[in-house]
Amino acid sequence: MSIETETLVIGTRGSALARWQSEWVKARLEALWPGLRCNLEIFTTTGDRILDRPLPEIGGKGLFTEELEAALLEGRIDVAVHSLKDLPVENPAGLTLGAIPERADARDVLVSARYAKLADLPRGAKVGTSSLRRGAQLLRLRPDLVLESLRGNVDTRIGKAMRGDYDAIVLAAAGITRLGHADSIAAFLGFDEMLPAPGQGALGIQCRQGDERILARLEPLGHVPTRDAVLAERAFLSGLGGGCSAPVAALGTLLPTGLSLVGLVASPDGKRAVRVEGRGDEPLELGSRLAREALAAGAAALLA
């Protein structure tokens, strides 16, 4: 289907991964709509500027999205491409998710210059991560590990691991494979070892609510099974309090029998955790229901 020549401005962070994600969206849109030309506009977010402190210490969610959302609301850009796990569960008034494309691998991976798997790490090994979720689940498996803050882009983090600054680091599989660094992966961490962040591996393409021109362009990029899975995960997070800084993980899976969701809330030291699991047909209802079950089972104390 062709359209008249038009321009669409895509807002993106400047990191290699953010650029890759936005270039992917640009290429898909231009292939879908002959005559459409997409321009990228680069933004530096608060999370990009402050690299000397762990993310939870400087505010967590929203650190990588606020500048892009402001530009959308002001009309300076038409869409913003986010890693969905970085996007707060509540859209600012006037914005919406125009499309959630098919998800990449949602697993986390171990990167190490010396060790082939988590079990090979010696007692007291130094593991780099700034994620409370990853840290809590690592300590549940290996309470002897020493966790140290790890910031910077994917290339920087891999470089630190390969230089031996850490015995190992943990990263998202999607980011490392999208940037062509799959050969750096020592081991994939199974979902029985580590549940992902809500939305991990998925992209969220944000636009202005009611902007029918842009919504029509984005609609073919959407992937219904991914959308249902991540909406359930985000509803679980939202039901716990949305912006909570406690370790929270969730994984939705679309099965022939319906949607399955597993959720986890843990203490940062990994010593206490509440895990819930359920199935349903409606993503938001399922996520909200499991959040209530988790809170009733003791997650409220962990979140406090």
- Give me the CATH number covering residue 133: 3.40.190.10
Q: Which residues contact 173 (CB under 8 A, 6 or more apart)?
A: 104, 105, 106, 107, 108, 109, 185, 188, 201
Its domain, for residue 207, covers 6-104+199-222
- Assess whether pLDDT exceeds 50 at residue 3: no
Give me the CATH number covering residue 244. 3.30.160.40
- With a cut of 80, say whether residue 244 has pLDDT above it: no
- pTM for the whole thing? 0.91
Predicted local distance difference test score (pLDDT) of residue 55: 55
Query: Average pLDDT for residues 131-138, to the nearest whole number?
Result: 96
Express as a percent the part of the chain with pLDDT over 70.
91
Q: Parallel, antiparallel, or unpaired for β 79-83 and 6-13?
A: parallel
In this structure, are 211 and 75 located in the same domain? yes
237-264: average pLDDT: 90
For the segment 243-261, the average pLDDT, to the nearest whole number, is: 90
Is residue 214 domain-resident?
yes
Looking at the structure of the chain, the number of domains it has is: 3
User: Can you tell me the mean pLDDT for 89-113?
Assistant: 96
Say if strands 168-172 and 126-128 run parallel, antiparallel, or are unpaired.
Answer: parallel
In this predicted structure, the answer to whether residue 31 has a pLDDT above a threshold of 60 is yes
Q: Are residues 242 and 209 in the same domain?
A: no
In this structure, are 93 and 211 located in the same domain? yes
Q: Are residues 79 and 210 in the same domain?
A: yes
Domain membership flag for residue 70: yes
109: which 2 tokens? 């991976």
pLDDT at 63: 64
Q: State the pLDDT at residue 86.
A: 87
Is residue 94 located within the same domain as residue 11?
yes
Residue 162 lies in a domain: yes
Told to judge if 281 belongs to the known catalytic residues of this protein, a careful annotator would answer no
Residue 56 domain flag: yes
Statement: residue 141 has pLDDT above 80: yes
Report yes or no on 16 lying in a domain. Answer: yes
Residue 228 lies in a domain: no
**Co-location of 88 and 213 in the same domain:** yes
Q: Which of 86, 108, 167, 228 is catalytic?
A: 86
283 and 249 fall within a common domain: yes
Mean pLDDT value across the chain? 92
The pLDDT value given to residue 46:
62
Torsion angle in degrees (nearest 10) through CA of 242, 19, 177, 26: 100
